[in-house]
Every structure is written in C-alpha cells, then in structure tokens.
Structure 1
Amino acid sequence: MKIAVFMGGTSSEREVSLRTGAAILNSLVRQGYDAYKVDLTAENLVTAFTDNDYDLAYIALHGEFGEDGRVQALLDMLGKKYTGSGVTPSAVSMDKVLTKLIAEDIGILIPKTYTSVEDIENFPVVVKPAKEGSSVGIYICNNKEEATAAVEALKDKKLLIEEFVKGEELTCGVMNGEAMGVLKITPKSGVYDYTSKYTTGMTDYQFPAQIDSKVYDAVMEASKKIHEELNLGGISRSDFILKDGKAYFLEVNTCPGMTETSLIPKIATLKNYTFDDLTRIMVETFTKIKDN
C-alpha cells in the first residue's frame, strides 16, 4: 500500500500544514509504511491528486482547499480513499456559522451571535472569518467603531460575529467516535493567538484539565455529539471557553494540527495513544471501504 501525505496547500494555514504533514510522514515512515510527501500548491491543486500514484491520501491540509470538502470531493470523483471526514461534513464544519447553528440545535451552549454590527447588543464582541483557522484574522472589538473597522478589514470573507466570552480555554479530541479527553490551554501572553499556538514554550497545557468533573464530562459529551451529529470521520477537535461553570462551544476542527506543539497528540496520551498510534489507526480506519 502506497500512502501520499498531502500537505501545504494554498490557505493562510499553509506553513502549519507543512509541519503537520512532515510529522505525520515521519511517523508513517518510522512504522514502515510506504509513504511520501506531496506539497500542494496553486500550480498543482488538481494534478497533485490525479498524477500521483497512491492507494490512500493522508490529508494533512488545513483551511480552504483541504479541510473544506473540495479536496474530498475530488478524491471521491477519482475513487481514492482518504483520511478524515467526507465532503459534506468537511464543508459544513469549515463554516463556523453553520456549525454553531447545528450545535445550538442539539442543545450545546454557544456564545450569542449577531448577523451584523447593527444587531450587536453588548460589547466586547469577536469578529472573525467563518472559514479560517489557526486564529487567523480575529478581532476583539470593544465598541461599534472597532467592530465596523473589523468588518471592513475582512470584507471579502464570510464573517462570524459573536459575544466575547472571557474565560478558560478548553479543547477535546475525538477519534472514531471516542472522546479522548479535555485539555486546558493557558497562553502566557494572555491571548491564544497564532504565536502562542505555534511557538514552543509560549503556552501552558494541562491535560487532563483540572476543572469540575461535571464540566469535564459535559465537554466530552458535547464534543462526541458534535462529531456524531456532523458525521465526522477520523479525528476531530472541539474548542470551548469555560466561564462561570459553563462551557461555550466555539468550533470544531476536522483536520486538527499534528505538529510538535499541537493539542491532539497531547490529548491522545490520556488514552495511552502515542503519535504513531494515531497515524496507524487513521491508516487502518480509512483503508477500509467507507461511506463518505
């Protein structure tokens, strides 16, 4: 079996994807798999999938043209097996607005959301792209003027406007329907931005999260429900903010990072999974015939 690890891509998360892909490829090779790197760029966005020889596409892509269902649709048309979620689950999960509507519908607590600046009832609010990750393009706005400026700065993107819930950051990993544990994130700068996420030593991680056991269980259950309701495949990671004993759901990642500072490998240790276990389980899961 030949495995192509697709990484890079054309989104704002290209560099993170390259690091994720390199770590996954190293793990696969270390375990004896016949795996190789495919760096996805604007020049080979389609031919990378049509002109390479592989039995399984291991997707290590983040953001648009990788995590949003378009690559998955191409692979489906080519009849190729691939890791992670299928077309519709990927597309819906990539859109934070749609995801939150679904989460709210199944009884999961979310921050109050607004459709426009004029609808905002209380500040501060967060204005961010509905289809970006890695804390790209996030604005915390304390008044209408700042919110208007943020919307203008992101005018070419679909936006999510929601109340800014200040609290402890939590995240929970789910693999093949199994909630693996909850991790608490404490950035030393006070803000879990791109630098805090991807710079070693900039953030403290506590796993398992030392929080009330009922909240811990509720986050585990909510993450599993999101995974199941959206029909996600493989590994997902749901993010929350804990305030006044309540965990607010923020978003779900269908292709979470697997770099040296990433959260999923840390969470997986709570179930005694190593990094190599994660990649092996993904290969074993998706080399079987599946319905996307």
Structure 2
Amino acid sequence: MKIAVFMGGISSEREVSLNSGKAILESLLKQGYDAYGVDVNENNLISAFTDNEYDFAYLAFHGGFGEDGRVQGLLDMLGKAYTGSGATASGVAMDKVLTKKLVAAAGIKTPKSFENVKAIDSYPVVIKPALEGSSVGIYFCNNEDEAKKAVEALGDKKIVIEEMISGDELTVGVINGEGLGVLRIIPKNEFYDYESKYALGGSVHEYPAKIDKKAYDEALKNAVKVHEVLGLKGISRSDFLLKDNELYFLEVNTLPGMTKTSLIPDLATLKGYSYDDVVKIMVDTFKK
C-alpha cells in the first residue's frame, strides 16, 4: 500500500500543515510504510490528487481547502481512502456558526453569540472568522468602535461574534470515539494566540489538566458527544473554556495539528499512545 501524505494547502495555516505533514511522513517511514509527501499549493490544487500514484491519502491539512470538506469530496469522487472525517462532517465542523448551533442543540453550553455589532449588549466580545482556525484573525473588542473596526478588517468573511470569557483554556482529544483526556493550556502570552500555539515554549501543556474532577469528566464527555453529534471520524480535538467551574465549548478541529508542539500527541500519551501509535491508528482505521 502506497501512502501519500498531503500537506501545505493554501490556507493561512499552510506552514503549520507542512510541519504536521513532515512529522507524520517521518513517522510512517520509520514504521516501514511505503509513503511519500505531496506539497499542495495554488499550482496543483487538483492535480496533486489526480496525477500522483497512491492507494491511501493521509491528510495533514489545516484550515480552508483541506479541513473543510472540499478535498474530502474530491477524494470521494476519485475513490480514494483517506484519514479523518468525511466531506459533509468536515464542512459543517469547519463552520463555527453551524457547529455552535448543533452543539448547543445537543445540550452543550457555548458562549453567548451576537448576530451583528448592533446586537451586542455587553462587552468585551471576541470577533473571529467562522471558517478559519489557529487563532488567525481574532479580535478582542472592548467597545462598539473596536467591534466595528474588527468587522471591517475581516471584510467579506463569515464571522463569529461572541461574549469574551476569561477562564482556563482546555482542549480534549478524541480518537475514533474514545476520549483521550483533558489538557490545560497555559499560554506565555496574554491569550492563546498563533505564537502561543506553534512557537517552542509558547505555552505550557498541563496534562492531565489539574482541574475539578467534575469539570474534567464533563469536558471529556462533551468532546466525545461533539465528535458523535457532528458525525466525525478519526481524530478530533474540541476546545473549551472553564470559568467558575462552568464549561463552554468553543470549536472543534477535525484535522488537529500533529507538529512537535501540537496537543494531540500530548493527549495521546494519557492513553498510552505514542506519536507513532496515533499515526498507525489513523492508517489502520481508514485503509481499504
């Protein structure tokens, strides 16, 4: 079986994707798989998938065109097996607005949302793109003037406006419906921004999270529920905020980072899985 690790892409998270893809490829080769990497960019968005020879696609994309269902749909049409969630589930999970509605309907608490700036009844708020990740394009607004400027800066992008909750940043990993554990992120910067996520030493990962057991168990249960409600497969990672022992769901990642500083490899150790084990599980789960 020949495995192609597709990485890069054209989203704002391209560099992170390349780092994830390189680490995954290194693991596959170390484990004896017949694997090679494919750097997808603006010049080969379609041909990368149609002109290369492979039996199985290991997807290492993050963000738009890769994590949003479009690549998955193409691979479905090509009859290729691939890692991660299917096209529809990926598309829905990528949209923070749709995801929040489905998750809230399942009884999981989320931060209060506002349709537009005029509807905001209290500050501060967070304004961010609905279809991007990795803390790209996030604005923390303390008044209406700042909120209007944030919306203007985001242009035509679909956006999320929600109350800003100051609390513990938690993330929960799930593999094939199994909750891995809860990790608390302690960023070196004031907020868990792009640098905190991907720079070495940008944040401290506390796992298992040293929080109240009830909150820990609830976060684990809710992450598994999100995985099930959205019809996800393989790995997902749900992010939460914990304030005064109240848990708030923020978003879910269907192709979480697999770099050396990523969260899933850390969470996997709570179940005794090594980085290589996670990579192997993904291949064994999806290969035809």
TM over 0.5: yes
| Counterpart in the other structure of 1:126 | 126
Matches within 5 A, 1:163-178: 163-178=163-178
| Counterpart in the other structure of 1:190 | 190
Matches within 5 A, 1:245-264: 245-264=245-264
Matches within 5 A, 1:99-178: 99-178=99-178
- Count, aligned residues: 288
Q: Give the CA deviation at 1:40.
A: 0.3
Partner of 2:165: helix, strand, or coil?
Answer: coil
Distance between the aligned counterparts of 1:226 and 1:43, measured in 2?
35
After the TM superposition, which segments of 4 or more aligned residues of structure 1 sit over 3 Å from their partners? none
Distance between the aligned counterparts of 2:132 and 2:167, measured in 1?
22
Residue 42 of structure 1 aligns with an amino acid whose one-letter code is: E
Distance between the aligned counterparts of 2:76 and 2:121, measured in 1?
44
Q: Give the CA deviation at 1:188.
A: 1.4
| Counterpart in the other structure of 1:54 | 54
Partner of 1:276: helix, strand, or coil?
Answer: helix
Distance between the aligned counterparts of 1:242 and 1:104, measured in 2?
16
Partner of 1:114: helix, strand, or coil?
Answer: coil
Distance between the aligned counterparts of 2:256 and 2:94, measured in 1?
12
Residue 19 of structure 2 aligns with an amino acid whose one-letter code is: R
Q: Give the CA deviation at 1:204.
A: 0.9
Distance between the aligned counterparts of 2:190 and 2:216, measured in 1?
22
Q: Give the CA deviation at 1:247.
A: 1.0
Q: What per-residue deviation string (whole Å, max 9, x for no partner) do you get for residues 21-44 of structure 1?
A: 000000000000000000000110
1:266 aligns with 2:266: yes
Query: Where do 5+ consecutive residues of structure 1 fail to align?
Result: none
| Counterpart in the other structure of 2:34 | 34
Q: What per-residue deviation string (whole Å, max 9, x for no partner) do you get for residues 126-173 of structure 1?
A: 000000011000000000000000000001200000000011100000
Residue 3 of structure 2 aligns with an amino acid whose one-letter code is: I
| Counterpart in the other structure of 2:282 | 282
Residue 278 of structure 1 aligns with an amino acid whose one-letter code is: V
| Counterpart in the other structure of 1:15 | 15
Distance between the aligned counterparts of 2:230 and 2:205, measured in 1?
28
Q: Give the CA deviation at 1:190.
A: 2.0
Q: CA RMSD in A?
A: 0.5
Residue 172 of structure 2 aligns with an amino acid whose one-letter code is: C
Partner of 2:174: helix, strand, or coil?
Answer: strand
Distance between the aligned counterparts of 2:121 and 2:71, measured in 1?
39
Distance between the aligned counterparts of 1:77 and 1:107, measured in 2?
35
Partner of 1:147: helix, strand, or coil?
Answer: helix
Distance between the aligned counterparts of 1:83 and 1:196, measured in 2?
27
